[in-house]
Structure 1
Amino acid sequence: MIKNKALSTAQKEILAETEFTFNHLAEEDLAAVIDPAYDVAEMDDDKLLEFLELANILYRAGEQLISDQQYDFVFLEELRNRLPDHPFLQTVEPEPLTEAKTVDLPFRMLSTEKAYEFAAIERWVNRIDKAAGECGVGFATLVFRATPKLDGFAAYDDGVKLYTRGDGRRGTDISRVFERGLQVAGDGARGLGPGEIVVSRSYFLENLADMFENSRNFQASLIKEKALEPPAAEAIRLKKAVFYPFSLLPSWQGTWRELAAGFDDIIDLLWQKTDYDVDGIVIEIVDEKIKEFMGATRHHHRWQIAFKRNTETAEVEVLRVVAQTSRSGRVNPVAEVEPTRLSGALIKRVTAHHYNMVRQQGIGPGARIRLSRSGEVIPKIEKVLVPAIPELPETCPSCGSPLIWENDYLLCINNLNCPAQITNSIEHFFKVLGNNDGFGPSSIRKIYTGGVATIPGIYRLREEDFVLLGFGPKQAENMVGQLQRSRAEPIEDWRFLAAFGIYRMGMGNCEKLLGFFPLETVFTLTRADIITIKGFSEKIAEAMVAGLSAAKELFDELYAMGFNLTRTPLDGEKKDADGPLAGKLIVFTGAMQQGSRDDMKKQAKLLGAKVGDSITGKTDMLVCGERVGPAKINRAKELGIQLLSEAEYLALFR
């Protein structure tokens, strides 16, 4: 892992060999990005994807940039949350070897679908059960096989040549490693197909850890064209570095009932079965008929899954529990703990969920707790090991008002005068509106401290007012400009309504509501009106009516300021069913010249199209603005997707 702003010489050489270029990231920013304290939410989609590509290239080449945990549970998880259908998640990450031409692999070597909880394994098994039924095979007698997932360098041995995995379909010939003396694990025969080049864990720790940062660095050194260094040659001679075919791995076999009943014990046993790094347990179905029926995606075989543990835990002492008031008035406990690293991140604070948990489990200063990040980005309290006397607040930390209990929560009911509720609500408004910059937590606090406590009051501020509130002249000018922008730029009426933060009225419910009732009428709706919409229960409708009533005065004042609202088409309004976009799945990419991408998406929906965020096999049309990378264009061509420039797209309607 790099320790300063510059990449190491070896890392730079790898990036040069793979022709990687920095298009969205800057090399000097990498030190900040890989810091465990970095907030990945600050990255836009292009930077996130470029960083994932960069990190993967260096990982596959043995010059790891960040830890596996940080890659999987911070950056890759962020991509899954933002763009769950993005092609990066659907394809095999290629090995970045450029020293030889690629050749077709004799067998597809794909990645493996991952699961971090038993519930995810159960969902996979349900798919197996369904496939078995369609194949006429009895599920109860099906045989499942479980093996350790070695953390090595994936390769395929056909008995004559050894290939890297490459992109799963094409790899490079690295037969030279057998010519250098590499043996098959357990003195096994050649030609046993897919496996991993690995090094003994105990041998690495005793003899190589001082020379190589991690085992992947060492494994990569075994396959490079340059002559072997003495440590690598010695490890091969002693058979401490080997090619381990998957077919020779220790395994467990049995029915699903047997696997489910002894799942934890089986996983634990297989994890300790070999003296090699293991990063999961692969579970697969043995029946060839079902395997053929289920097939594979571009990324993984559907008949196989890897159970992975991110079981790194830490026992820490609670320093104190801090109360924080949310915009809803709930007072939430946050435990400040002694700083500790967990799954690549420096943890200083962890949520305690609610004060009833604090009260019942004894989470207070001096308590010892166990933290874990079981497949999650956010750490959680797994167990209270040594309880302490909890400290329960009696008054709101923001306004000092007495708190009341509401089920598990402490609640501040001074919602009209509580600074935390007011500032959080203002911040929520600007954040949901999404067409402005500069109105984050610190700016909102500064404005509130200066005596402006309402959203309409903020919109009435002039440049000189912002200067008096403590903003610099240039910043004051920008703030006024952003307020003007937020009113002038088109914005969906459902987004505007959702910005008021009314209980039960998030963006999804607001869009659904305005699909049946115009914005101007929603404040006159009754509970009976709302429950006519599918998905809205009486309880939800009651909460919405109460919330709309409470927000009406504020809404009227802001609505009169002239926001440029785009009306949501009412259900039943005719769309262009016969137009050129009807029924098409369209993805917009690049910088547009005739309008924003959001505007183009809205127009496409009104013309009967569906709009996606990323290219998939179901995409019909990719509309390209400026500065679109070649990878996306090539991907679209591979999938046979129609490519249109912005001008060609707009010409469809002329």
Structure 2
Amino acid sequence: MINNDIEELTQKFLNCDYIENTFDYYQNLIEVLIYHNNLYYIYNTPSISDYQYDLLFDLLKKIEKENQDIISPNSPTQRLVGQIQNSYKTYNHDFPMLSLENAYDTKDLFEKDKFIKKRLNTEFNYSLEPKFDGSSVELIYKNGVFEKAITRGDGFVGEDITENIKVIETVPLYLKNAKNISYIILRGEIVMPKSSFNKLNKKREKEGKSLFANPRNAATGTLRQLDPQVVADRKLVCFIYELTYISSEIIFDKIKTQKDIFIFLKNLGFTVYDWLKITDNIQDLVNICQDIKTKNYFENQNIEFDGIVIKVNQINFRKKLGETNHHPRWAIAYKFPAKQIVTKILDVELNVSRSASINPVAILQTVNLSGVNISRVSLHNWDFISQKDIKIGDNVWIQRSGEVIPYIVGVIKEKRDGNEKEILAPNLCPICDSKIIKVDTDVNYYCSNINCPSVIKEKIVHFVSKNCLDIDGIGEKLIYMLVDNGFIKHYADLYYLKDKINYLKSLPLLGEKRINDILEKIENSKKTFLRRFINGLGIKFVGKKTSKILENSIYEDLKYNNIDISKFNHQKLIKYLTDQTFLSNIHGIGDKIIFSLKQTFENQENLQILYELEKVGVVLNNFYNQKSILDSKLSGIKFCITGSFDIKRDEIIKILENNGAEFLSQVSSKLDFLIVGKGGGSKLQKAKKEGIKTISLDDLYTKYNL
């Protein structure tokens, strides 16, 4: 899942050395944040710290504040994105399940206090409770009986994990003292105790399986197990901390504060963590957060915590403060300072990415930080090395904020003994010994050989990936093996593998059935959409979003000039992608993209590969939006979706977009129709309130003959 190009772009944003056209910059930043949301929430393999993510998020908010006309509905500030895995059944939250604002220093806390005081203009106090480092969950009970458990997801739609939650001992299947409660919604956190985590990792180590990086990843990974017995065996714990809705107004009216909520939850039979502080003074609040005794207390518990959640204590004041699409305005999470440790740089290893950039990696004296052995850390580029004055032999501070891939915070120069060595940029590629090139405007060094084995491998890995040609079954290991054995030299060679079946059979782990499956998927990929093909070429600065823009613009031009779409081919694609006048008139295509396209198609070897792809039968006349523009059944009509359906939401959206419609993620005055499935929640209520038309999926198909 790790995308080297996005990782490089991430570092450019973090280093603040990537400031160009505002729209391009903004769209790329959104793509980076969604990518990191996926790593964190779906794959449990975050590659940046919580702190670094928040820096990017704050940068996004700043751009949107200064350029409100470009705000995208897909922005993480507008909704939680990249947090739902398609393989799980989804369920709409009756009330949005939002994230929290994060504070890493006292300045953020004082600013939040100032904001709340100005809004409320009356006396109030704060409650402080632990911030669990686990997986958020919503529990629903009907007539005192456990009904459903839903993950946060994107805040509006989550994943149904009911069966797995049923086997967690601290989740009561029947509530106590719930005689007059017909419906109740609660929120909490699923965590794996440190003792259970250590036991699990020891078992996995004996079995030769990969280890979980931390309790949070272990808990999240466990909840995604298909076998509830596995969940039961791992001894997860559920702590409930919030009452979202209760059907009895009489009971709800008696609950005035967070402390009342905790007492009520305990009375129902839920497990509540017994640490709650109340203060009406911001300085006292800050003192509690910064007190070393507070942090030591949490570190010595059997549960992993990464901060303190601060809430306005009075429930009625929370309603007055309200919420954004991302977070409640009445709460903030104070994150504990990042964990750091000292180690030594023993050597530097050089890797070569798909873009041919030379990536330095420090080999460390192995240290254990938060239960994880760290022996390598990225040095990003030579500007980073120079700025921090890093040398081989240096003692450095390593940081793992939020339990992620380590980062060098700084060098302890006082420990230098004179034997340290400079980390020099190479003159030759570490893989193929070709010359290294450096562009003044770029922080990276590049291998000059477009046939560098490492570059070839990474390009083919990208070419077959899900957002490109989507050739399932050809993984990284197989591609490396095929390149190393001389079977393929570029991605066009994939289509000649059918002529090398006997050779393929000689490779390990390649049985006849797998070979036939792979060859069938390679054959099917010849009719991919143009946007996927463009993305698959791996052109610098041309990713998924830009490929979509290019495909749409090319199609519009073909249609406008009455050019036969069925005859669109590789030569015509090259003509479009090198036409500077055409490209410069496309919104979202900046000078850097135009220059990159020009460089790509001036290279004769790249052109030859394109012609090879045409020769083997890869066609380019399959446009994603071709049907929609031709039929225009739903052209210009804006839809939103709520509830559950017999088919996946992605399929519904695809049908809508293929017929010219525009899909909106939220209900707004711009909406024409809300498509309603089973159990439509808050979106349906909002649509009714604003007078927006609703329609069932079946009626939609009938009305527009889809």
Deviation at 1:557, TM superposition (A): 2.4
1:242–1:267 distance in 2 versus 1, CA, 3 Å: closer
Whole-angstrom distance in 2 between the partners of 1:124 and 1:574 = 54
**In 2, Cα distance between the equivalents of 1:119 and 1:528?**
52
For 2:114 and 2:579, locate their aligned partners in 1 and report how far apart those are by CA, in whole Å: 44
What is the Cα deviation at residue 507 of structure 1? Answer: 1.6
Q: Any conservation in 2 of the 1:587–1:614 contact (CA below 8 Å)?
A: no
Q: Which residue of 1 aligns with 2:496?
A: 460
Residues 533 and 120 of structure 1: CA distance in aligned 2, closer, same or farther (over 3 Å): farther
Q: SS in structure 1 opposite 2:333?
A: strand
Counterparts in 2 of 1:567-586, with a 5 A limit? 567-569=623-625, 573=629, 576=632, 582-586=637-641
Equivalences for residues 15-26 of structure 1 within 5 A: none
- Alignment partner of 1:446 is 2:481: yes
- For the pair 1:482 / 2:521, whether they are aligned, the reply is yes
Task: Give distance in 1, aligned partners of 2:324 and 2:37.
Answer: 28
Q: For 1:170 and 1:111, how far apart are their aligned partners in 2?
A: 18
Alignment correspondent of 2:661: 609
**1:526 maps to which of 575, 579, 592:** 579
Q: How many residues align?
A: 484
* 2:399 paired residue among 347, 351, 372: 372
Q: Which runs of 5+ in 2 are unaligned?
A: 1-35, 55-75, 133-169, 171-185, 187-239, 299-304, 556-567, 688-693
Change (3 A) 1:194 1:413: closer
Structure 1 window deviating more from structure 2 (423-432 vs 395-404): it is 395-404
Of 559, 571, 585, the match for 2:614: 559
Q: 2:594 is matched with which residue?
A: 541
| Letter matched to residue 607 of structure 2 | K
User: What displacement does 1:353 show?
Assistant: 0.9
Partners in 2 of 1:353 and 1:636 — Cα distance?
A: 45
Kindly provide the amino acid, as one letter, of the partner of residue 313 in structure 1: Q
Q: Provide the C-alpha distance between the structure 2 equivalents of 1:286 and 1:498, rounded to a whole number of angstroms.
A: 50
State the Cα distance separating 1:608 from its structure 2 match: 3.8
Residue 426 (structure 1) aligned to one of 460, 463, 469:
460
The secondary structure found in structure 2 opposite 1:369 is strand
Query: For residues 382 and 43 of structure 1, do their structure 2 counterparts lie closer, same or farther at Cα, with a shift above 3 Å needed?
Result: closer
2:627 touches 2:658 (CA, 8 Å); kept in 1?
Answer: no
The correspondence of residues 187-336 of structure 1 with structure 2, limited to 5 A, is: 193-195=257-259, 244=276, 246=277, 248-249=278-279, 251-252=281-282, 269=290, 272=293, 277=298, 279-281=306-308, 293-296=320-323, 301-309=328-336, 311-336=338-363
Which amino acid counterpart does residue 425 of structure 1 have in structure 2?
Answer: K
Identity of aligned residues (%): 20
1:389 aligned partner: 421
Classify the secondary structure of the residue corresponding to 1:349.
strand
3-state DSSP of counterpart to 2:361: strand
CA displacement at 1:120 relative to structure 2: 11
8 Å Cα contact 1:583/1:608 also seen in 2: no
Give the Cα separation in 2 of the matches to 1:353 and 1:611: 38
Check whether the contact 2:540–2:596 (CA below 8 A) recurs between aligned residues. Answer: yes
Q: CA deviation at 1:591?
A: 7.5
**Contact in 1 for aligned 2:633/2:704 (Cα 8 Å):** no
Could you say what secondary structure the match of 2:360 adopts? strand
Distance 1:242 1:588 in 2: 37
Preserved CA contact (<8 Å) 1:332 1:354: yes
Q: Which of 86, 100, 115 is residue 113 of structure 1 equivalent to?
A: 100
Name the SS for the 1:505 alignment partner. Answer: coil
1:497 aligns with 2:534: yes
Counterpart amino acid of residue 113 in structure 1: L
Q: Which amino acid aligns with 1:422?
A: I
The offset of 1:644, in angstroms, is 5.5
Q: Structure 1, residues 37-94: CA drift from partner, whole Å, max 9, x if none?
A: xx9989996x98xx9xxxxxxxxxxxxxxxx99xx99xxx9x966238999998899x
C-alpha distance in structure 2 between counterparts of 1:223 and 1:528, whole Å: 70
Structure 1 residue 406, shift from structure 2 partner? 4.0
SS where residue 460 of structure 2 aligns? helix
Q: Which amino acid aligns with 1:401?
A: S
Counterpart-to-counterpart distance in 2, 1:225 and 1:287: 23
* Counterparts of 1:224 and 1:598, CA distance in 2: 39
Cα 1:281–1:270 change in 2 (3 A) is farther
Query: Which one-letter code corresponds to 1:249 in the other structure?
Result: T
Tell whether the 8 Å contact from 2:625 to 2:657 is kept in structure 1 after alignment: no
Pair 1:529–1:122, CA change in 2 (3 A)? farther
Change in Cα spacing, 1:266 to 1:82, as seen in structure 2 (3 Å) is: same
- Residue in 2 that maps onto 1:180: none
1:111 CA displacement: 7.8
What secondary structure does 1:382 align onto?
strand
Structure 1 letter corresponding to 2:356: G
Given residue 352 of structure 1, which amino acid in structure 2 is its aligned partner? L
Q: Give 1:119 shift.
A: 12
Once residues 347 and 511 of structure 1 are traced to their aligned partners in structure 2, the CA distance between those partners, rounded to angstroms, is: 39
Whether the aligned pair in 1 keeps the contact of 2:397 and 2:410 (CA below 8 Å) is yes
Distance 1:542 1:638 in 2: 44
SS in 2 for 1:482: helix
Distance 1:223 1:342, change over 3 A: farther
Counterpart amino acid of residue 427 in structure 1: V
**Change beyond 3 A, Cα 1:532–1:512:** same
CA 1:382–1:507 in 2, change beyond 3 Å: closer, same or farther?
A: same
Q: 1:512 aligns with which of 527, 540, 549?
A: 549
Over alpha carbons, which structure has the higher Rg?
Answer: 1
Distance 1:297 1:573, change over 3 A: same
SS at structure 1 position matched to 2:482? helix
More moved, 351-360 vs 458-467: 351-360
Q: Which residue matches 1:413?
A: 447
3-state SS of 1:517 partner: helix
| Distance change in 2, residues 1:389/1:418 (3 Å) | same
In 2: Cα distance, 1:171 partner to 1:349 partner: 54
Say if 2:431 and 2:453, in contact at 8 Å, map to a contact too.
yes
Q: 2:220 matched to which residue of 1?
A: none
AA aligned to 2:655 is Q
Deviation track 1:178-209 (CA, whole Å, cap 9, x = no partner) reads xxxxxxxxxxxx997323999xxxxxxxxxxx
Relative distance call for 1:343 and 1:224 in structure 2 (3 A) is farther
Displacement of 1:438 after TM fit?
A: 2.4
Report if the CA contact (8 A) 1:327-1:420 is conserved.
Answer: yes
CA distance in 2, matches of 1:373, 1:610: 41
> How far, CA to CA, are the matches of 2:41 and 2:330 in structure 1?
35
1:168 aligns with 2:244: yes
**Offset, 1:500:** 0.3
3-state DSSP class of the match of 1:516? helix
SS state at 2:554 partner: coil
Deviation at 1:333, TM superposition (A): 0.9
Q: What TM-score do you get using the length of structure 2 for normalisation?
A: 0.54
8 Å CA contact 2:532–2:544 kept in 1: the answer is: yes
For the residue of structure 2 that corresponds to 1:436, the secondary structure is coil
User: Which runs of no fewer than 5 residues in structure 1 stay unpaired?
Assistant: 1-38, 52-67, 94-109, 154-162, 176-189, 199-218, 229-240, 260-264, 624-632
Provide, for residues 416-449 of structure 1, a one-character-per-residue CA deviation record: whole Å limited to 9, x for no partner. Answer: 3311111111111111425222222211111112
Aligned partner of 1:442: which letter? K
Partner of 1:19: none
Cα drift, residue 291 of structure 1: 5.9
Residues 310-340 of structure 1 show CA distances to partners (whole Å, capped at 9, x for unaligned) of: 6122222223221001122211011232444
Distance 1:391 1:284 in 2: 48
